[in-house]
Structure 1
Amino acid sequence: MFKKDHKLNQWLWKWHFIAGLISLPIVIILAITGGIYLFKDTYEAPRQAHIKMVEVEGKAMSYQAQWQLVKPSLHKAPNTMVIPTKANQATAFTSGMFSHKNSVFVNPYKGEVTGHINPKDSNMYTVRKLHGELLLGKFGTKIVELVASWLFVLIITGIYVFWPGKKEGIKGFFKIRFNQGKRILFRDLHTVIGFWISILLLMTLAGGMPWTDVFGDSFKWVQKATNTGFPKTWHARGLKSNVAGEAISLDDMVALAKSMNLKGEVSIGLPKDEKGVYSIYNTTFDLDAQKRFHFDQYSGKQLVNHNWEDVGVLMRGRMWFMAFHQGQFGTWNWVVMICVAVLLAFMSIAALISYIKRKPTKKWGTPKVPTRFKAGYGVIALIVLLGIVFPLFGASVLIIVLVEYFRNRKKQIGV
């Protein structure tokens, strides 16, 4: 056990307290909505079954014919087709990406469209928007990013403040006092739970930050500058077919894709125009198994292929943490994220109860810091580093410093 600096401990406790009190309501919202969103697939599956599932009756029509059938049903030409893995599965054709994604499903036996699915039409889309932007658009996204940035600080300061002294020893990491009143009980529940899930919280935050505006854009810029993102041709950018003769049918590409025995969901990227290319790729959260192949749509010649190893290190890290954040690495990951969401909400509420129990009447009860204390260079360097990595956190700290400076200046002038 290391010996803590008492004055530094008081100073960190003060900022942990202030930051926690300000961000607490939003942290609880993020924990609850994040936990709910983990049930997205379970919630949507029965509600979309009438669109995605069909009765097997007779001979299925060709994929080429299905492609032609769906074109009038979409505002934009479909850019992807997902290869069905079961006979009773409707064929999905999709245009657009992310929130602009629109999928139309075809019954290959009756030759008719079974329905459309747009992410925006689901209740889970509202939950996601509440989780990511508090239903406040770009402004809400920045609030969430600011709170998430401060959460890193809360976790780091919380670990230092909680860390047991020599007298408590190892027992201090597990000590919850049930017989010393509700304030102490909820304080201990907050600190002990917070400590033991701190690494998981940091990993969860790392998976959520790439979706933010300021940090996310900065991260993309670094990826581009260091050439550590996707290869240029990962999404077939810059690739063109040599227009010559008749294009290969979609059915031939499906047959080729099936022969590859790719892991996970396999899709065919459809040519956008006469110079566009066919693509075959798989979506699986065994990231190392992801592959992409691009072909000339006339000759069938393979133009380029990529494995996961071709992806830059920052993009690989980003995709791993984002998948972890969504609980997509299997049952274990889903269970871990459910536990993180529940425990984060519980420990936040426990902190609020403990605060209410100790709060003096008509006062905020902000912890006092010794007047002669000055943060060391190491602490300042850490704050500067966090401010650079998380720009909104850096801007908020700068505002706080300026406000404190002018308040002290005013007091000195008044004296």
Structure 2
Amino acid sequence: MLKKDHKLNQWLWKWHFIAGLISLPFVIILAITGGIYLFKDAYEAPKQAHIKVVEVEGKAMSYQEQWQLAKPLLHKAPNTMVIPTEANQATAFTSGMFSHKNSVYVNPYKAEVTGRISPKDSDMYTVRKLHGELLLGQFGTKIVELIASWLFVLIITGIYVFWPAKKEGIKGFFKVRFKQGKQILFRDLHTVFGFWISILLLMTLAGGMPWTDVFGDNFKWVQRVTNTGFPKTWNARGLKSTIEGKAISLDEMVRLAKSMNLKGEVSIGLPKDEKGVYSIYNTTFDLGTQKRFHFDQYSGKQLVNHNWEDVGILMRGRMWFMAFHQGQFGTWNWVLMIGVAVLLAFMSIAALISYIKRKPHKKWGTPKVPLQFRAGYGIMALIVLLGIVFPLFGISVLVILFVEYFRRRIKKEKVEV
């Protein structure tokens, strides 16, 4: 068992307490909205069925004709077509990416568009915006990133503070005292559940941080300078077709794609202009089976192809944790993320109840630390490291230090007067 330094324990408990109190409302919001968003597919499927599902009647029109039908109905020319896997599935043509994504669905039997779908039109888009930016735009994303950064600190300090004393042994990791009052009960529920999901929480946070502004941009910069992101031609960047003769039809590319027997959802990347290229790729969360092929749209010559092994290690890690964060590795992952969201909300509420029960009247009840205590070089080095990795956390620590410095200075001047 870990032999803890009592003064260090008090100091870490103080900062765990302060950071937790400030973060608590936001953490509860993030946990609840994250849990709700995991039901996105189940919620949207019945609402979109009338657009995505068609009746099979007669002969289907060609994919080339469907492409021409979809073009004028999007603000930008479609850049992707998803190959239907069932006869009663409408063909999806998509332009844009992420929140700017717009899709039209074509009924190949009636030669008509069944409807459009944009992420912004769904109720789940509001949930996602609340989860990612608190409905406050760019300012909100900074708040969420700051809270997420402090969550790393809360987890690390929480593990140290909770770690049972030597005399308690293994039982200390499971100890919940039901008969010593509600304050102790909810404290134990918070600490025990918090400890046992701490690794999962760290993994979940690692999957969410790449979406943030400051950390996310810095992470992308590291990927670029270390060449550990996607290969330059992963998305056909810089590739061009040689204009010669008649372009290959979309139907020929679909036949080629089907012959490859790729796993997951298979899409055709459509040429943007007369020099653009065709692409064939699959989207699956069995990440190791993802492949990309790029072809000259006139000759059909393969220009380049990529496997998952071609992707840099930082990008592979990033994509894995992001998929894990969204519960996309199958039922086990989805259930696990639901459990994490529920337990995070529960342990946060338990912490709040415990605090309310122990809080002195008209005081914050901040834990006291001996005045002579000074954190060691190891702790300071860890704080500096976290401040570099998570810049918003680093800035917030500097602000706290400045406020603390001037508060003590003012207090000292009052005493001298």
TM (norm. structure 1) is 1.00
Compute the displacement of 1:411 (Å).
2.6
Aligned to 1:339: 339
After the TM superposition, which residues 389-400 of structure 1 pair with which residues of structure 2 at under 5 Å, given as runs? 389-400=389-400
Distance in structure 2 (CA, Å) of the matches to 1:412 and 1:53: 73
SS at match of 1:364: coil
SS at match of 1:279: strand
After the TM superposition, which residues 149-228 of structure 1 pair with which residues of structure 2 at under 5 Å, given as runs? 149-228=149-228
Aligned to 1:412: 412
Q: Which amino acid aligns with 1:367?
A: P
Aligned to 2:99: 99
Aligned to 2:89: 89
Aligned to 2:59: 59
Distance in structure 2 (CA, Å) of the matches to 1:2 and 1:155: 17
5+ residue gaps, structure 2: none
Distance in structure 2 (CA, Å) of the matches to 1:185 and 1:406: 38
Aligned to 1:245: 245
After the TM superposition, which residues 14-413 of structure 1 pair with which residues of structure 2 at under 5 Å, given as runs? 14-413=14-413
The superposition leaves residues 4-56 of structure 1 with CA deviations (integer Å, 9 ceiling, x where unpaired) of: 00000000000000000000000000000000000000000000000000000
Distance in structure 1 (CA, Å) of the matches to 2:114 and 2:264: 24
Q: Which amino acid aligns with 1:57?
A: E
Identity %: 87
Q: Which amino acid aligns with 1:337?
A: M
SS at match of 1:229: coil
Aligned to 1:5: 5
Q: Which amino acid aligns with 2:393?
A: F
Distance in structure 2 (CA, Å) of the matches to 1:100 and 1:166: 55
Compute the displacement of 1:306 (Å).
0.1
Count of matched residue pairs: 415
Compute the displacement of 1:412 (Å).
2.9
Distance in structure 1 (CA, Å) of the matches to 2:382 and 2:345: 28
SS at match of 2:293: strand
SS at match of 2:413: helix
Q: Which amino acid aligns with 1:71?
A: K
Compute the displacement of 1:413 (Å).
3.0
SS at match of 1:64: helix
Distance in structure 2 (CA, Å) of the matches to 1:123 and 1:410: 50
Compute the displacement of 1:271 (Å).
0.1
SS at match of 2:367: coil
Q: Which amino acid aligns with 2:21?
A: L
Q: Which amino acid aligns with 1:90?
A: A
Q: Which amino acid aligns with 1:197?
A: I
SS at match of 1:47: helix
RMSD, matched Cα = 0.5
5+ residue gaps, structure 1: none
Structure 1 segments of 4 or more deviating over 6 A? none
Compute the displacement of 1:408 (Å).
1.9
Compute the displacement of 1:295 (Å).
0.1
Distance in structure 1 (CA, Å) of the matches to 2:357 and 2:334: 35
Compute the displacement of 1:199 (Å).
0.1
Q: Which amino acid aligns with 2:58?
A: G
Compute the displacement of 1:379 (Å).
0.2
Distance in structure 2 (CA, Å) of the matches to 1:412 and 1:376: 25
Q: Which amino acid aligns with 1:404?
A: E
Compute the displacement of 1:160 (Å).
0.1
Compute the displacement of 1:406 (Å).
1.6
Distance in structure 1 (CA, Å) of the matches to 2:394 and 2:50: 50
Distance in structure 2 (CA, Å) of the matches to 1:234 and 1:156: 37
Distance in structure 2 (CA, Å) of the matches to 1:201 and 1:285: 21
Q: Which amino acid aligns with 1:42?
A: A
Distance in structure 1 (CA, Å) of the matches to 2:9 and 2:70: 64
Q: Which amino acid aligns with 1:388?
A: I
SS at match of 1:328: coil
